[in-house]
Amino acid sequence: MHEPRSPRRDFLKGSLAGIGAIAALGGGTVRAIAQASSQTNQEQHMPFTLPALPYPENALEPSIDALTMNIHRTKHHQAYVDNLNKALEGHADLQGKSIEELCAGVATLPDAIKGAVRNNGGGHYNHSLFWVLMAPKGQGGAPSAELTAAINKAFGSMDDFKAKLADAGMKRFGSGWSWLIKKPDGSLEIVSTPNQDNPLMKGLVDTLGTPLLGVDVWEHAYYLKYQNRRADYLKSWWDVVNWNEVNARFASAK
Ligand code: MN
């Protein structure tokens, strides 16, 4: 996919224009958002900032209510951003890295900041991706023929895939994520990670790969509307999956 490395600030403004931007930008969206933030605030030594939401907070209703979207992004995600910036204070070399690079290399960081970057860098990457992996119902497109073929090969059918991704989310005890990843050999796999870990984190997760789709199963992602009913949240979430973005990530993932 073509990623708008420059002008990044224009992309950020453009992303506010509407959901069409997501489909057009494809797999580079998260990187573009993260680096737009990076450039904007480098002078203050706050390399990462909260990305703009590419749709209104109420656009995912009824699957995800506006209040949950607001608190999830402006409180939880913002805290990950703030704590990541704090952890990187005084580490100019790390401040210049992309969020993907930080996640991939987190196991090699000094012990003093490893845990903070793992939790908060992971949180920033995971949530930046999560927002663009969703779109208002009816606007997320459908799985491409290529992605459908790969899913059928790996999981039997689209329905089986959906059931397995949801099952991985249900079986995640406590907090974490359920992911569809493309592994280095090109095959697809479903994995689950605890807390804010993700499949980019070398040495910390069992299976590495590029996240194509991920769903947040922390209680903060659904509790206001669904309370304890994680299964209902996961079922309704499929209505707001942005397949256009998943297709693009599948096509561009190495
Ligand atoms: Mn979350």
Residue 248 CA to ligand 1 centre (angstroms): 23
pLDDT of amino acid 13: 31
Residue 73 CA to ligand 1 centre (angstroms): 8
pLDDT of amino acid 8: 35
pLDDT of amino acid 30: 53
Residue 182 CA to ligand 1 centre (angstroms): 22
Residue 149 CA to ligand 1 centre (angstroms): 30
pLDDT of amino acid 143: 98
Per-residue pLDDT of the chain in tens (254 residues, 90 and over written 9): 333 333 333 333 333 333 343 433 344 455 455 554 544 544 456 899 999 999 999 999 999 999 999 999 999 999 999 999 999 999 999 999 999 999 999 999 999 999 999 999 999 999 999 999 999 999 999 999 999 999 999 999 999 999 999 999 999 999 999 999 999 999 999 999 999 999 999 999 999 999 999 999 999 999 999 999 999 999 999 999 999 999 999 999 97
The CA distance from 21 to 16, in Å, is 8
Over pLDDT 70: what percentage of the chain? Answer: 82
Residue 139 CA to ligand 1 centre (angstroms): 23
Residue 97 CA to ligand 1 centre (angstroms): 23
Q: Tens of pLDDT along 33-90?
A: 555 454 454 445 689 999 999 999 999 999 999 999 999 999 999 999 999 999 999 9
HSE at residue 202, side-chain half, CA atoms within 13 A, is 9
Residue 238 CA to ligand 1 centre (angstroms): 17
Residue 237 CA to ligand 1 centre (angstroms): 14
Residue 138 CA to ligand 1 centre (angstroms): 23
Q: Tens of pLDDT along 201-213?
A: 999 999 999 999 9
Q: CA nearest 24: which of 186, 102, 141?
A: 141
Residue 72 CA to ligand 1 centre (angstroms): 6
Residue type at 59 in one-letter notation: A
Q: Which residues contact 113 (CB under 8 A, 6 or more apart)?
A: 87, 88, 91
pTM reported for the whole predicted model: 0.84
Residue 84 CA to ligand 1 centre (angstroms): 15
Residue 125 CA to ligand 1 centre (angstroms): 11
Hey, what domains does the chain have and what are their CATH numbers?
9-132 (1.10.287.990), 145-252 (3.55.40.20)
- Kindly state the tokens that stand for 82: 């703030």
Mean pLDDT (the chain) is: 87
Residue 21 CA to ligand 1 centre (angstroms): 23
118-to-98, 106, 153, 187, 224 alpha-carbon distances in Å: 14, 6, 33, 26, 27
